[in-house]
Structure 1
Amino acid sequence: MALQDKLDALKADFEAGRFPLKPSKEALDIMHRATAELIASGQAQRAKKAGDVAPEFSLKDPDGKPASSRDLLAKGPLVVSFYRGVWCPYCNLELQALQEALPEIAARGASLVAISPQTAPNSRKSERDNKLSFPILSDVRSEVADAFGIRFALSSELVSLYKSFKNDLPTFNDDPSWVLPMPARYVVGRDGVIAYAEVNPDYTHRPDPSELLPVLDRLRAGRAA
Structure 2
Amino acid sequence: MTSTNPTIAERVELMHQSTADQIPGPALTAFSAEQADLASHGLPESVAQAGTAMPDADLLDVHGNPTSLYAALAGRPAVLVIYRGAWCPYCNLALRAYQEQLVPALTGRGIGLIALSPQKPDGSLTMAEKNDLTFTVLSDPGNRIARGLGVLTAPTDQVREAQRSLGLDLATLNADNGYGLPMPTVLIIDADKTIRWIDVHPNYATRSETTDILIALDLLD
User: Normalising by the residue count of structure 2, what TM-score does the alignment of the two structures yield?
Assistant: 0.88
Asked whether the equivalents of residues 139 and 175 of structure 2 are also in contact (C-alpha less than 8 Å), the reply is no
**CA RMSD between the two structures:** 1.9
Per-residue CA deviation, residues 147-187 of structure 1 (Å, 9 max, x unaligned), is 11111121111111111111111111143322211111111
Match of 2:15 among 7, 10, 19: 10
Q: Which amino acid aligns with 1:91?
A: C
Asked whether the equivalents of residues 50 and 195 of structure 1 are also in contact (C-alpha less than 8 Å), the reply is yes
Corresponding position of 2:3: none
Corresponding position of 2:136: 135
Distance in structure 1 (CA, Å) of the matches to 2:58 and 2:110: 21
Distance in structure 2 (CA, Å) of the matches to 1:146 and 1:157: 23
Cα separation, partners in 2 of 1:22 and 1:153, compared to 1, 3 Å: closer
Cα separation, partners in 2 of 1:58 and 1:209, compared to 1, 3 Å: farther
SS at match of 1:187: strand
Deviation at 1:103, TM superposition (A): 1.7
Deviation at 1:72, TM superposition (A): 4.5
Deviation at 1:91, TM superposition (A): 0.5
Asked whether the equivalents of residues 63 and 122 of structure 2 are also in contact (C-alpha less than 8 Å), the reply is no
Corresponding position of 1:195: 196
SS at match of 2:142: helix
SS at match of 1:163: helix
Distance in structure 2 (CA, Å) of the matches to 1:6 and 1:149: 28
Unaligned runs of 5+ in 2: 1-5
SS at match of 1:48: coil
Corresponding position of 2:163: 162
Q: Does 1:118 align with 2:123?
A: no
After the TM superposition, which segments of 4 or more aligned residues of structure 1 sit over 4 Å from their partners?
none
Asked whether the equivalents of residues 184 and 200 of structure 1 are also in contact (C-alpha less than 8 Å), the reply is yes
Q: Which amino acid aligns with 1:214?
A: I
Deviation at 1:218, TM superposition (A): 4.4
Distance in structure 2 (CA, Å) of the matches to 1:137 and 1:73: 12
Per-residue CA deviation, residues 97-142 of structure 1 (Å, 9 max, x unaligned), is 1111212112112111100111111111111100011111011021
Asked whether the equivalents of residues 58 and 67 of structure 1 are also in contact (C-alpha less than 8 Å), the reply is yes
Cα separation, partners in 2 of 1:180 and 1:109, compared to 1, 3 Å: same
Q: Does 1:175 align with 2:164?
A: no
Deviation at 1:210, TM superposition (A): 2.5
> 96-105 vs 210-219, which deviates more?
210-219
> 168-177 vs 2-11, which deviates more?
168-177
Asked whether the equivalents of residues 187 and 198 of structure 2 are also in contact (C-alpha less than 8 Å), the reply is yes
Pairs within 5 Å for 1:70-85: 70-85=70-85
SS at match of 1:37: helix
Corresponding position of 1:144: 145
Q: Which amino acid aligns with 2:85?
A: G
Deviation at 1:28, TM superposition (A): 2.3
Q: Does 1:35 align with 2:40?
A: no
Per-residue CA deviation, residues 170-214 of structure 1 (Å, 9 max, x unaligned), is 111143322211111111112322111111111111121222223
Asked whether the equivalents of residues 27 and 165 of structure 2 are also in contact (C-alpha less than 8 Å), the reply is no
Could you say which structure has the higher helix fraction?
1
Distance in structure 2 (CA, Å) of the matches to 1:64 and 1:174: 10
Distance in structure 1 (CA, Å) of the matches to 2:27 and 2:158: 10
